[in-house]
Every structure is written in structure tokens, then in C-alpha cells.
């Protein structure tokens, strides 16, 4: 399916056509339902595989289920080719995550979002969070996260609650990011015409 998405055959005799949804899709602004392991929308392992495939295809470090049109509280993260001090290559999934606490000082960093192509905004987030979740096999986990992983999880947790990162930005930072986006898109069009 290329850049459009991933069709996932399911043992439930259905095909889930996962496609990256863009910024104006209403599902991005909806609080998602818990993933129901007793009556799942699809096999949890297949869901994770499809979401990770889309995350990698678009070069992201995190993806929430609503970004592929699925109403379920599921997040996948992974570093892929992204490099940051103190991080290692990994991929993991979080089903029905619950934030136990968000702590310590705030740090501003530039964030992007796969559902908002070419938009990069300075966002202030807490340094650390404690979270519990289930894995694809329903095993319960809990951990404290810091640094880049904490930031990625906070961004994706917002998605699960229907909050997009533009809502976290200060007005002047959002205006600046939108102007930069327009410039980037104009440059890309000029380059595409020149090729």
C-alpha cells in the first residue's frame, strides 16, 4: 500500500485497513475507548505490527491508535533511526496506559506529529512520568520514564485523550511553526517542479 497505509489480515476474518489520518480528522480529537481484550477490534499483536509498520514508514517515534483510525487506547513507540543521547533501539506497545504521576521540572523541545506533516512546534512537557499499562498479552506493567521516552509517551497519551499537540503550544510558538510549515511546503513544491 506504500505511503497510504497497511492492510492487516486478521484472524478475525476481517481486514483492517490502517491509514495514517491527518490533522483535520475528528478521531484525533476524541477520547479513545479502552482496548477490550475480551472483544478486540483485532488481534492485539496484529494491531501492534500494523501500527509499528506505519510508524516506521513515516519515520516517527510514536503512534497512537487514533492516528490510524482505530478507537482504542493503544500506543506504540520505537526509536528506529532516530538518535538521541541516552536512548537505544527498541519497539514497544502500551495497551490501556494510565498515568500514575507526572513529575519534576518542565522542558521545552521541538515536537512533530505524523498526523501534522511538516509542523514542528516548541512544546513544554514534564521531564518524568510514572505509568502503568498492559502489553499485547494482557500482562500488567508499570514503570517510571524520563527523557525522550517520557516526552514521546506524553505526546501519545495526549492523543488517547483527544488532545493534539497544537493545543499544548503557546500561541506565538504555534504561529511561528505554521509560518515555517508554509515555507517548507513551498520549498518542497519548487524542488519537485525542478526535478
Report the catalytic residues.
156
Q: Give the domains, in start order, of the chain with CATH numbers.
A: 2-194 (3.90.45.10)
What b/e sequence results for 7-46 when a residue is b if at least 16 CB atoms lie within 10 Å of its CB, and e otherwise?
ebeeeeeeebebbbbeeeeebbeeebeebeeeeebbbbeb
pLDDT in tens, the chain (195 residues): 444 455 555 444 445 678 999 999 999 999 999 999 999 999 999 999 999 999 999 999 999 999 999 999 999 999 865 555 665 668 999 999 999 999 878 999 999 999 999 999 999 999 999 999 999 999 999 999 999 999 999 999 999 999 999 999 999 999 999 999 999 999 998 888 887
Cell, residue 9: 489480515
CA within 13 Å, CB half, 89:
3
DSSP letter, residue 116: E
Which has the closest alpha carbon to 158: 75, 79, 35, 80?
A: 75
pLDDT of residue 89: 66
Nearest 5°: the CA angle 159, 160, 165 is 15
Distance, in Å, from the CA atom of 156 to the CA atom of 163, rounded to the nearest integer, reads 9
Distance, in Å, from the CA atom of 134 to the CA atom of 137, rounded to the nearest integer, reads 8
Backbone φ and ψ of 126, nearest 5°: -70, 155
Amino acid at each position: 500500500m506504500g505511503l497510504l497505509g497497511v492492510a492487516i489480515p486478521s484472524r478475525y476474518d476481517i481486514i483492517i485497513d490502517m491509514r495514517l489520518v491527518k490533522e483535520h480528522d475528528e478521531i484525533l480529537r476524541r477520547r479513545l475507548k479502552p482496548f477490550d481484550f475480551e472483544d478486540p477490534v483485532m488481534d492485539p499483536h496484529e494491531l501492534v505490527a500494523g501500527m509499528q509498520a506505519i510508524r516506521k514508514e513515516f519515520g516517527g517515534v510514536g503512534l497512537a491508535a487514533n492516528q490510524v483510525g482505530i478507537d482504542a487506547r493503544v500506543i506504540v513507540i520505537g526509536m528506529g533511526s532516530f538518535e538521541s543521547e541516552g536512548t537505544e533501539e527498541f519497539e514497544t506497545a502500551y495497551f490501556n496506559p494510565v498515568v500514575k504521576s507526572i513529575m519534576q521540572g518542565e522542558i521545552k523541545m521541538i515536537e512533530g506529529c505524523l498526523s501534522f506533516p511538516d509542523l514542528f512546534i516548541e512544546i513544554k512537557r514534564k521531564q518524568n512520568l510514572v505509568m502503568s499499562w498492559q502489553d499485547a498479552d494482557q500482562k500488567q506493567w508499570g514503570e517510571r520514564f524520563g527523557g525522550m521516552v517520557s516526552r514521546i509517551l506524553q505526546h501519545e497519551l495526549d492523543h488517547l485523550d483527544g488532545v493534539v499537540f497544537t493545543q499544548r503550544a503557546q500561541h506565538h510558538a504555534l504561529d511561528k511553526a505554521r509560518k515555517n510549515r508554509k515555507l517548507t511546503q513551498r520549498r518542497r513544491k519548487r524542488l519537485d517542479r525542478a526535478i
